[in-house]
Amino acid sequence: MKLIVSPEYQSLSEWLAQVPRLFDDNQGELLYKGRNQIRLFVVGDKKKVVVKRYKRHDIIKTLAYTFFRKNKARRSYENAVSLTQRGFHTPQAVAYMECTTAGLMTQVYYVCAYTDSEPIRPRLIEQEPFDEALAVAYARYVARLHEAGVLHRDLNPTNVLFRHEHGGYDFELIDINRMQFFDSPVPKAACMENLTLFYWLTPAYRFILNEYARQRGWTEADIAEAIRVKERHDRRWVRRKKITHPFRK
């Protein structure tokens, strides 16, 4: 097993080496179980850490991740470090590990610090009316991400967490294995596509887009183009679901 531990968490190295066994024994508090599994552990001097075990892959993806591509756990760890270096928050990276069998990568784990921040989804999508103050803060946050060259390729409202303190909002990104970093601001076309991941073309979406555009200095023509991009994205999503849904259990 390959185990890479953040310098700040070297004291947990011995415990981290036991993580695969702990998962096999169903230890820790189960937070999520689906394609991947997420568990919460309390270790050392009451440190709370979250461990994500990614699903096993078929032989083709196993070969790809063994020899050609960085696996999701490693990407999550390295992206967390890059985000922090650029001044953005994500639960602090603790470690990642790669388990192999017969020279092939069979299971990977990503470990980060626990956070009790809340997802933005309930306040901006499920709540009526949506929280306008949070929507403004979120739009400005995404504008800062893009200005700093940060593109989260799964920027949906469950992967952005927030905390409201001292009259302001602090945001954290999670599920960060799919990211891209630029040396300059993210290209406008990529920004428009990225914004489509928020939700449907709702009043909240339009409100956030308008505030984002104001922060970025976009024109009315830019906003109109962003709306067209969003409409095209939603149509593709609906068509894809109609095709794939009958084959799902």
**What local confidence, expressed as pLDDT, does residue 28 receive?**
96
* Residue 154: partners with Cβ closer than 8 Å, 6 or more residues away: 175, 178, 197
**What local confidence, expressed as pLDDT, does residue 129 receive?**
96
Q: Which of 226, 112, 97, 109 is nearest to 173 (CA)?
A: 112
Provide the whole-model pTM: 0.92
Written in H, E and C, the secondary structure of the chain is CEEEECHHHHHHHHHHCCHHHHHHCCCCEEEEECCCEEEEEEECCCEEEEEEECCCCCHHHHHHHHHCCCCHHHHHHHHHHHHHHCCCECCCEEEEEEEEECCEEEEEEEEEECCCCEECHHHHHHCCCCCHHHHHHHHHHHHHHHHCCEEECCCCCCCEEEEEECCEEEEEECCCCCEEECCCCCCHHHHHHHHCCCCCCCHHHHHHHHHHHHHHCCCHHHHHHHHHHHHHHHHHHHHHHHHHHHHCC
Is the C-alpha dihedral spanning 209, 211, 214, 216 positive or negative?
Answer: negative
* Residue 211: partners with Cβ closer than 8 Å, 6 or more residues away: 135, 136, 139, 140
**What local confidence, expressed as pLDDT, does residue 245 receive?**
56
Paired with 162 in beta bridges are 118, 171
Q: Tens of pLDDT along the chain (249 residues)?
A: 899 999 999 999 999 999 999 999 999 999 999 999 999 999 978 899 999 999 887 787 778 777 888 999 999 999 999 999 999 999 999 999 999 888 888 899 999 999 999 999 999 999 999 999 999 999 999 999 999 999 999 999 999 999 998 889 999 999 999 999 999 999 999 999 999 999 999 999 999 999 999 999 999 999 999 999 999 999 998 988 777 655 454
Q: How far is CA 94 from CA 7, 11, 160, 223, in A?
A: 8, 11, 20, 40
Give the separation between CA 115 and CA 122, rounded to whole angstroms.
17
**What local confidence, expressed as pLDDT, does residue 249 receive?**
46
